[in-house]
Structure 1
Amino acid sequence: MIAKLLSATALACLATISSTASAQSGSGQKAPTANPAQPQSQPNPPSSKPEQQPTSKQPTADRSKLIEEAVTAVRETRNAVRAIDQNKPADAISALERATGKLEIVLARTPDLALAPIDDAVITYDVIGTVQDVERIRAAAKAAFDRGRMQEARRLMDGLASETVLSVTNMPLGTYPAALKEAAALLHQGKPQDAKRVLETALNTFVVTRTIMPLPLARAQSAIEEGRTLMEKSNRTDAESVRLGSLLARARDQLRLGQALGYATEKEMSDLVRAVEDMERRTSGKQQARGMVEPTRPMFDAANKASQPPKSN
């Protein structure tokens, strides 16, 4: 697995260009194997993204500065734990004072911010195989599960993903600053081990949010959008008609792959496949078709939203 860690600025840009909600509180060449998903680094998320809402409406530069302050607060918290281990309570208190000061800056600038991003990673997995390959592996996994061979089924299913996953680690601003103050008070009372336990608990309460961007949906929508001009063009040339047919076939194949991989709901994926097949029918023989792309946009939005991991309570 190859993960590309992004800078705080990159995270801010990702949050800004995404369109709706992961609330505040990651192509058919044939090579059928039991584990077809190949992870790869992704410098930028794909062009069609599920909805994600920024945790702050601050301009990018200001937001990046706030993230930097939160990251520094975490570093100082770890410095405090290390100082306690070295029996240097005064150094630990100084580190906590610096951490608290950083968080006071964050809270003063964005008092409504519930989660402060402190780290992120983007990982892409891609299936190298056809729809038939995926269906064959699904059938083998189901057969293994039915025989009670759950681990065999898990290994078979493990590679069935074609997606970019954005994972963001967040500091809970509702509880973290209070934990720092509690630890500092315990240090002043001569209770370094109690202070250490409070700090370690705080460092283990970070919230990780994941946004999934299914690649088959992104590729299908990109092909449809690219073909829009050709669909609406009268008197297409033979070459243009061939190009349009190729784009729509790609969109249809990607949607069927996404359907086989279990993205969105069966109905949402079937509706998208039918929409593309309708485009193919209405544009055959150089026919001109207008207004066919716009209705698919909310359909893609809904499919992307339905592909997100369930939110924990």
Structure 2
Amino acid sequence: MKKLFVSIAAASLLVSGAFASVASKAESNKAVAQAKTEVKKEQKELKIVQEAVDAVALTNKVLAELEKGNKDQAIKDLEDAIGKLEVVLSAPNAPALIPIDSTIEVVDFPGTLQDIKTAIISVKALLAQNKIQEARAILDTLRSEIVLKVVNLPLASYPAALKLAAKFLHENRINEAKNVLNQALATFVEVDVVTPIPLLQAIHLVEVAQKEAKKDKKKALDMLDEAKRDLKKAEALGYTSDSDTTYKMLEDMIEKVEKEIKGKNRAEKLFEELLEKLKEFKEKAVKKINK
């Protein structure tokens, strides 16, 4: 009978742990969903310059017309494209890069911290054998991030390229005009804004723990435990921050909150300090990458 009670108790603990894990995972997923919504909002607020978009479309049309031998129409379209960019250039404080398109990419590494460590060991072994492409295939999976990709037209060079192409067309130097236009279309600059998902999840989990600390200690502690795992995951994936705060400092702060919850449970100020540091750390971990 005693063994039966022990078995039931053990099973109860396992079920409880499973529910806790499910709850924290659900909150982590909620954090990603909220972050996606925020990035989509940023994307909507991004000012796509229609004149620049039209100029690019006309550039492609010019190339198509030239392939058909319609030089006169190509010249007309090219002049229209140049005119549209003149409008952009005439704007006060026109930026060097003009947004013409944007997309959102979400990549979330599905494995555990141990999976990341194992993958890194494999990559190092492959690199030691000069198996670069095999290593690259693994490295490409070691990402957990939301990326806002913005394609930009370089205002310093694109209009000049169109004018040069127009000059060549007037001189009947068709192939040279085509080359200039194709080169211009290859000069777009992609700017990626990369936000690490594990940091977003850690912040959200701490916020949930803050709300639950007085009502449900166990749930709060489970959330904090998951937040620590997310921080370790972010660190293992190589996401760095320009903050003076370190991953170790954040983990120590979480452990301090956990200790307080287990004790007198007066962790309000500790939560505020932790969230302030976490958010500052995350903001300075967001990277802009020009491609």
Partner of 1:185: 167
CA distance in 2, matches of 1:241, 1:48: 30
Q: Which deviates more from structure 2 when the two are superposed, residues 195-204 or residues 101-110?
A: 101-110
How far the C-alpha of 1:98 sits from its partner, in A, is: 1.6
CA distance in 1, matches of 2:223, 2:119: 27
**2:226 equivalent to 1:250:** yes
Partner of 1:269: 247
**2:181 equivalent to 1:176:** no
SS of residue matched to 1:159:
coil
Query: Which of these two proteins has the greater Rg computed from alpha carbons?
Result: 2
How far the C-alpha of 1:137 sits from its partner, in A, is: 1.9
How far the C-alpha of 1:152 sits from its partner, in A, is: 3.3
The 3 A distance-change label for structure 1 pair 46 and 227 is farther
The 3 A distance-change label for structure 1 pair 60 and 126 is closer
How far the C-alpha of 1:214 sits from its partner, in A, is: 0.9
Q: Which structure 2 residues correspond to residues 147-296 of structure 1 after superposition, within 5 A? A: 147-230=129-212, 236-237=214-215, 240-264=216-240, 268-285=246-263, 287-292=265-270, 293-294=272-273, 296=275
For 2:287, the aligned partner's letter is: Q
Task: Report the count of equivalent residues.
Answer: 257
SS of residue matched to 1:291:
helix
The 3 A distance-change label for structure 1 pair 274 and 310 is farther
Q: Which of the residues 89, 92, 96 maps onto 1:107?
A: 89
CA distance in 1, matches of 2:284, 2:88: 30
CA distance in 2, matches of 1:79, 1:44: 40
Q: Which digits, 9 at most, give the CA deviation of each residue in 1:134-192, with x for residues without a partner? A: 11222222233334443333333331111122221100011111211221122222222
Question: Once superposed, what is the RMSD of the aligned Cα atoms?
Answer: 3.1
Asked if the contact 1:186–1:192 (Cα under 8 Å) also holds between the matched residues in 2, the reply is: yes
CA distance in 2, matches of 1:119, 1:288: 49
Partner of 2:60: 78
The 3 A distance-change label for structure 1 pair 60 and 307 is closer
Asked if the contact 1:47–1:218 (Cα under 8 Å) also holds between the matched residues in 2, the reply is: no
Q: Which of the residues 269, 273, 276 maps onto 1:297?
A: 276
For 2:118, the aligned partner's letter is: R
For 2:276, the aligned partner's letter is: R
CA distance in 1, matches of 2:141, 2:241: 20
Q: Which of the residues 266, 287, 290 maps onto 1:308?
A: 287
Asked if the contact 1:269–1:303 (Cα under 8 Å) also holds between the matched residues in 2, the reply is: no
CA distance in 2, matches of 1:284, 1:47: 35
Asked if the contact 1:171–1:206 (Cα under 8 Å) also holds between the matched residues in 2, the reply is: yes
CA distance in 2, matches of 1:278, 1:252: 12
Partner of 2:16: none
Q: Which has the higher helix share?
A: 2
Partner of 2:13: none
SS of residue matched to 1:283:
helix
- Under a length normalisation based on structure 1, what TM-score does the superposition of the two structures give? 0.71
Aligned-pair identity (%): 32
